[in-house]
Amino acid sequence: MYSSSTAAGNRLYVYEVVGLSQNGNTDSLDYSIRQSGSVFFTVPYSRMNQEMRRISRLGGKIVSIKPLNGIAPVQISADRSPAPQVIAEPPKVQEKTPAKAMTQAKEKTEIPVNLYRPNNPFIGKCIENYSLVGEGGIGIVQHLTFDLSAGNLHYLEGQSIGIIPPGTDANGKPHKLRLYSIASTRHGDKLDDKTVSLCVRQLEYQHPETNETVYGVCSTYLCNLEVGADVAITGPVGKEMLLPEDEDATIIMMATGTGIAPFRAFLWRMFKEQHEDYKFKGLAWLIFGVPKTANILYKEELEKIAAEFPDNFRLTYAISREQQNSEGGRMYIQHRVAENADEIWNLLQKPNTHAYMCGLKGMEDGIDQALSGAAAKNGAEWSAYQKQLKKEHRWHVETY
């Protein structure tokens, strides 16, 4: 069946770009920069917005966009990057569809969902796989980055992708996909809109009957994936953990272990990347629970952000095997929340405060108990107030 949307997606356009110069950034482009100052290259309809953003970040200016088949060119404004009016066939009919760039934070951002499904996954390529656990740390946790340039897989901070491990299960059926929270911003770690990154811990546990050590199928596959290997990816999925578009919001993040993944994406977008249309001016507070200092994932980068943006970012650790709570026991994330419960409660009274929780499911009850005391001091019942926060889409939970 040949649909109009398929036809649109298959159309090709020729961009004429000026203002690019040969440098370290443009060396990665798959075309050379001509001395005349103009560069012409072909772009599929499905990647038009991505290429516009990439060209803009590289300092280029698009002066014309023409369909490859020679139909009338798209008109480009002289003073800014284009929001093209796509000319559909036949030429007499015009579809005025201004581009909705994924970077627009002040307008309603389109949420991509299930661009690739299990029966037809996107095949990406691993370009990075390195350890995140320091010497003396517990377990194996890897940071992986996949190249997406061969397709149209794009996403937002707070979403997840599915990974389908190769091979079959004990019944001879293909392995089912596993979902992983995305650890990179929508622009990817390379800032070229062509990658996605994950933070993966190898699952390891003792079999309750045989006492044998069992390793997770997908997590073991990913932690041992070689650079250059293909990987089957589905998604993206998820609307629960999205970052609000309000630049003045208060964002409270509570994470354990690899639950840091979506919050890394949040913080990189807030503080590490530079955006014309998103300048975070609010407060971001990360409460991060780990067993040892060596298990603080992305420690150096987190502490650098805290040092550079002391008025906008707070970093609080709960290191269970190295710190003690007020009762002399191990310091878990719920104890840090309890220590700061009154302040967290007061922040939650602001209508633009959002609280996020990601990590082990066992953290939920302890955090609820900690905040129940603060709510009671103010004549409120935490469970009822929490329901109201959820109704207002200000209490976000993703635990496993």
What positions carry a catalytic annotation? 180-181, 358, 398, 400
Q: What is the DSSP string of 132-168?
A: -PPTT-SS-EEEEEEE-TTS-----TT-EEEEE-SSB
Residue labelled with tokens 């952000």: 305
Angle between helix 382-391 and 363-377 (nearest 10): 110
Q: Which residues contribute to the annotated binding site? A: 181, 201, 258, 290-291, 320-321, 359-360, 398
Residue labelled with tokens 């990189």: 268
Q: Which residues contribute to the annotated binding site for NADP(+)? A: 181, 201, 258, 290-291, 320-321, 359-360, 398
- For residue 98, give the DSSP letter: -
Instruction: List, in sequence order, every residue forming a beta bridge with 58; answer none if it has no partner.
Output: none
d(CA 189, CA 7) in angstroms, rounded, equals 32
Cis peptide before 121 (omega within 30 of 0): no
- Per 3-state DSSP, what percentage of the chain is helix, strand, and coil (rounded to 5)? 25, 30, 45
Per the CB < 8 A criterion, the answer to whether 161 and 179 are in contact is yes
- For residue 347, give the DSSP letter: H
Count Cβ neighbours within 10 Å for each residue of 128-161 and write b for 16 or more, e otherwise.
ebeebbeeebeebbbbbbbbbeebebbbbbbbbb
Count Cβ neighbours within 10 Å for each residue of 310-324 and write b for 16 or more, e otherwise.
eebbebbbbbbeeee
